[in-house]
Structure 1
């Protein structure tokens, strides 16, 4: 970090007397570090910078601070190198740093006259600082600093580049001043364990500190944050400050946020819930309208939203012809009627053949914007993530948080990973679930079409048994998810999946084993989880084709859980 120019004229004069060869007070700048980079924050576009093959552009979002940042995109054999020649002094040490995000990002300096340096970081969905130092040679008057990405990787962003050290005489950006106090602090949402906050941006701020009851609890680079780990039905006070290299602002006005009750959170769901997928197509199961779905289902997941030609974006088209002439207006009216009856209707993204890919900041933004647009157009309460062909934890987390910021605390967010996706917390699906835990409603893992899997005790269990359901659920329950975020996903009939069907009585036994410690097989969990959310089935249509045997039995049983 640089040293501020705090030397007074008196001290300067004194030093001139003490140090031979110092002719004037102006020379005291030799002892003060400055940022020698010009247009360090890209507030003036790409002025003073040169990017290879036209790879760079100045953007207004996302930025680390101020109103500008660099976005550079590697293409083909070009690594998106953006460089500036900076004036320096010989025989001097400098600290080179930059804030980066997005794809792989490299930072370095050449022409130092000694040892050229570089550093790098892998892709990141949030801003992170990279830094290195170099020493100039005896005759070095300038160095070239640069950023670049990596071949075939996503675009990277850079902001607030600095070369701190003795003034090289080439100018440079002025040193920062302490930012102003943030204004507009509001509570934007709450769950049973978290409160979400938002505030106005402050010019020159690089980081915002969030205080709960006077104690700093987290820091973020954006203008919103979610404070987690709170008690249900409890009021908390919050303040925010803005910081940069010069220091921290005063604290904002205080706001009070109150968490919701623990049963159902802020979503309006019952403590225990049943989820059913509704098929927007005819594959031999009973064709239904939303109004035909039995009342036993608390969450109805409309399958599926489809990928578009825009990376990350999704759309939904009602299969009116396949559903016997079901019109969009009738569909929307049925959704509203279910919601009036206390049910939630969400749109599911993915499925076995889904090709939605969220793997960079742009596609994450497209995903969030398009899902929110569907929520507004059709009245959906939220989204279900059912991506069976890979998931990027970093950017899906970014997308879901962006969606939550738009939709507010009533958002219903569910997931339906395959069993292999939840075998370990190191798996990307599991990582995503944990990273959005504060806004996550339920994970209904698919306990079918998987074959044998490991339980939390390290033993192998075959699908189609009570042990398979309980021992695999235990991995999620002990791996960081709250019991209220875990549901058992099973087929509604033997035709609903290729393998893994179990009778409703087996599902109910597994629910009892996990919540009450009764009905267990050979596997018995070390403790019970009375807050367990419930169960899910594929699908309401296959359930109807089997005379609603699944929803009649499991739905009633879920209602009676502790």
Structure 2
């Protein structure tokens, strides 16, 4: 996720609250948005109480580690020096309760563009679990969003088996997420927001690749997604800030147009052979587990897609209508929805994203 600047966050007094319980089930189709809660940028600060009703899942951006390898995650509201209109922590927590009462889910998102997290040791894994749980409990949140970017995840040389990863940062993340799921139970909402480089690139490269010369980060999210697929609420790949990616038609697709979203989404809904090897497949996710991510406007990230192009892709994926050159392997009427970076940028643009796509994807 893109941020224009961040600053050191002051330590605020903790407000202990009871964790949220299971609310109403998610709607058939959802809009997921990131709320710039801990930092300021050119879009302006949006108070929790002012998040528009169109959004069903609100991801608080971001909890970040005290160091790359500590596993110790911290979250605080944006300092008043950066965000003059920031609410108090008590008001923030009260507004979360009000959103939850309306059926919204509020999650803590971990990582982002600046928050590199490498759980390379058992100690970091355990600290990750305890510190994330402390944030969830502090605000009574519904779950967790994993937005690892940059160098958080990679595959060691020789780590080639999807179902049995051996790289410590992968193994420890999987164990940590399973621990949090067990701690909070069925009500726990778990979402992931990887970039295309960490998922769909796996059709061509997995870690260092067959010949050992590829980027070790290539498709490094795949074993995490695979291990958590029974617990995963929603995967919403970032279909932006991406280079061209090869689809299942063996053609390269470029962001910003309908075919890119259709091809990228089809890959996780139909599954694909890792590195083209049918003996090593990434199995498909359920339709209700999949959305795709978009910038809310041209300021929010590279690869902005006009509303009409997004709707073409939705028609093609969900109805087999209005398709372009790419034809998906299946029809997916239960595709869950869309994610956006971000709620703030959407509001900055007069809510073009949330209003237009909410109308297209009614609850």
SS in 2 for 1:413: strand
Partner of 1:460: 252
Distance in 2 between residues matched to 1:356 and 1:544, nearest whole Å = 30
Distance in 1 between residues matched to 2:125 and 2:334, nearest whole Å = 32
Is the CA contact (8 Å cut-off) linking 1:365 and 1:402 kept in structure 2? no
SS in 2 for 1:414: strand
Larger Rg: 1 or 2?
1
Instruction: Give the one of 496, 504, 507 matched to 2:310.
Output: 507
Distance in 2 between residues matched to 1:333 and 1:342, nearest whole Å = 15
Is the CA contact (8 Å cut-off) linking 1:267 and 1:412 kept in structure 2? no
Instruction: Give the one of 294, 297, 306 matched to 1:493.
Output: 297
What number of residue pairs does the alignment pair up?
295
Partner of 2:75: 316
Q: More helix by proportion, 1 or 2?
A: 2
Partner of 2:26: 269
TM-score, normalised to structure 1's length?
0.51
Distance in 1 between residues matched to 2:146 and 2:121, nearest whole Å = 17
User: Do residues 419 (structure 1) and 191 (structure 2) align?
Assistant: no
SS in 1 for 2:361: helix
Instruction: Give the one of 47, 51, 58 matched to 1:289.
Output: 47
Structure 1 residue ranges, 4+ long, deviating more than 3 angstroms after superposition: none
- Residues 411 and 436 of structure 1: CA distance in aligned 2, closer, same or farther (over 3 Å): same
Partner of 1:434: 226
Distance in 2 between residues matched to 1:266 and 1:325, nearest whole Å = 27
**Greater RCO between the two (CA within 8 Å, min separation 6)?**
2
> Shift of residue 521 of structure 1?
1.1
Partner of 1:536: 339
1:502-528 Cα offsets, whole Å, 9 max, x none, are 112222221221111112211111210
Is the CA contact (8 Å cut-off) linking 2:24 and 2:103 kept in structure 1? no
Is the CA contact (8 Å cut-off) linking 2:270 and 2:330 kept in structure 1? no
Instruction: Give the one of 387, 397, 400 matched to 2:177.
Output: 400
1:182-221 equivalence runs, <5 A: none
> Shift of residue 267 of structure 1?
7.0
> Shift of residue 266 of structure 1?
8.8
Q: More strand by proportion, 1 or 2?
A: 1
SS in 1 for 2:60: strand
Is the CA contact (8 Å cut-off) linking 1:266 and 1:409 kept in structure 2? no
Distance in 2 between residues matched to 1:266 and 1:442, nearest whole Å = 17
Partner of 2:323: 520
User: Do residues 349 (structure 1) and 107 (structure 2) align?
Assistant: no
Partner of 2:99: 338
Instruction: Give the one of 340, 364, 367 matched to 2:128.
Output: 367
Superposition CA RMSD, Å: 1.7
Q: Which runs of 5+ in 2 are unaligned?
A: 1-21, 154-168, 207-218, 272-283
Is the CA contact (8 Å cut-off) linking 1:382 and 1:412 kept in structure 2? yes
